[in-house]
Structure 1
Amino acid sequence: MADYFSTISTIIKNRRTIKPFMMNGGKIPDEQVSQLLELADWAPTHGYTEPWRFVVYTNPADFCHQHAEMYKQNTDAANYIEASYTNFYTQGDKVSHVIVAIMERGNLPKIPVFEEIAATAAAIQNILLGATALNIASFWSTGGMILKPAMKTFLKLNDEDEVMGVLYLGYTDEQFAGVRKIPLSEKVKWV
């Protein structure tokens, strides 16, 4: 059991956010992405609602170009920034896969929405930890149009569903050290 704890501890402590432009363009086998999604499916879920849903883009440019166009079409001229459009358009250039993560509200109204969101976030964390174990770089993004109504419309979601973010997966040649700025002792109160 100590070996299991050591392994999961190492994976958790080594997980890093790697932005898409830091990825190297290497292609992840679809089978490994499927394995990550299988890990997601084992997240905790109240009432077995299993609210997580995923849309996987094996060609990241498809999503990124649509995201950029969505930004252009839904941003008034006073707030539109051409550099943002270009960033959204090219964000997948060095990425292997893009996964849109969605919380689909279950049909058990007694379960609070925040529990469905938490379950979906746990599913996403399972993907991120599995990616780390496979030496896959990952970035969980909520920027641009991702949390805007236009994205929900694009994905044909119901009003009570939520886009939880977009996961960019790929490989990187760089290694990154982790940082925690607030000591754990300031975050925990023992009673």
Structure 2
Amino acid sequence: MQSADKVAALDEIIRQRRTLKVLANEPLPETTPRELVNEIIAAGAWAPFHKPSSTEHRSQMSSFVPWRAYALDAGACHRLRQKLINVGDDTKIVQMLAAATALIQVTWLPNPPKGATDAPFEATLENMEHIAAASAAIQNMLLAATARSFESYWSSGGALRETQVFDWLAIPQKEILLGAIFLFPTDADGVETATGKLREKRGPIESWAKWLT
């Protein structure tokens, strides 16, 4: 593929990426193409990051990157759904878990606080950089999912960011959920879908960018 074709193909994937919430009242058949999900997660590795993660986050997984990814196949999504139902959760998270072919829990790794604080993390420049890097990793994954014909939804987490869910999934409590990435099949029957409400409201480029002289 020539350079211009590569640019056009990338631009088209960026435009095609969309937020789509897929809801099912009962679990869909358990099909998870793990090799494709692994490729999607691997795309996140190429996000830029400015600072390495704190050493306290490297005991379970050793990478310097300031994010972590935890993947659940359809069966694990269904089991997590049932656990949430058992504790009384009746939100759309339960319906999305029923429809998902996979879920990727992406966390970011805050630096340990240097002083006493009740906040989940200190508002430092390095922590801002860690959040930005993890966000870039998520965007890479979303684009990779779009390129592989998955529908996707970046959720802030809801119940999926709670302590008990982290315990169920063996995610360290010192990590903070930045995005629960739901991957959905494109041809599911008996589901309800909802697109992102702000997709067409971002405005023309001139409303949020300008050249400086």
State the SS of the aligned residue for 2:93: helix
CA–CA separation in structure 1 for the residues paired with 2:84 and 2:41: 23
Deviations 1:135-189 (A, max 9, x none): 011111114223445555653321xx31112111121249989634412111112
1:12 aligns to what? 14
The answer on 1:186 being equivalent to 2:201 is no
CA contact (8 A) 1:141 1:165 kept: yes
Q: 2:67 aligns with which of 52, 66, 83?
A: 52
| Aligned residue type for 2:83 | Q
CA contact (8 A) 2:51 2:130 kept: no
1:103 aligns to what? 108
CA–CA separation in structure 1 for the residues paired with 2:109 and 2:85: 24
Q: 1:146 aligns with which of 152, 160, 181?
A: 160
Aligned-pair CA distance for 1:4 = 1.8
Aligned-pair CA distance for 1:86 = 5.8
Aligned-pair CA distance for 1:68 = 4.2
Residues 113 and 163 (structure 1), Cα distance of their counterparts in 2 relative to 1, 3 Å cut? same
Matches within 5 A, 1:63-142: 63-69=80-86, 72=88, 85=90, 87-105=92-110, 112-142=126-156
CA–CA separation in structure 1 for the residues paired with 2:130 and 2:81: 27
Aligned-pair CA distance for 1:134 = 0.6
1:62 aligns to what? 79
| Aligned residue type for 1:21 | L
CA contact (8 A) 1:103 1:162 kept: yes
CA contact (8 A) 1:25 1:93 kept: no
Gaps of 5+ in 1: 73-83
Aligned-pair CA distance for 1:65 = 2.8
Aligned-pair CA distance for 1:43 = 0.8
| Aligned residue type for 1:98 | L
State the SS of the aligned residue for 1:20: strand
Residues 67 and 120 (structure 1), Cα distance of their counterparts in 2 relative to 1, 3 Å cut? farther
Residues 17 and 146 (structure 1), Cα distance of their counterparts in 2 relative to 1, 3 Å cut? same
Deviations 1:112-136 (A, max 9, x none): 1011111111111111000100101
Aligned-pair CA distance for 1:98 = 1.1
Q: 1:157 aligns with which of 173, 188, 191?
A: 173
CA contact (8 A) 1:95 1:169 kept: yes
State the SS of the aligned residue for 1:92: helix
Q: 1:34 aligns with which of 33, 38, 42?
A: 38
The answer on 1:169 being equivalent to 2:183 is yes
| Aligned residue type for 2:152 | S
Aligned-pair CA distance for 1:103 = 0.8
| Aligned residue type for 1:103 | W
| TM-score normalized by the length of structure 2 | 0.70
CA–CA separation in structure 1 for the residues paired with 2:111 and 2:202: 37
| TM-score normalized by the length of structure 1 | 0.77
Let me know the Cα RMSD of the aligned residues. 3.1
State the SS of the aligned residue for 2:130: helix
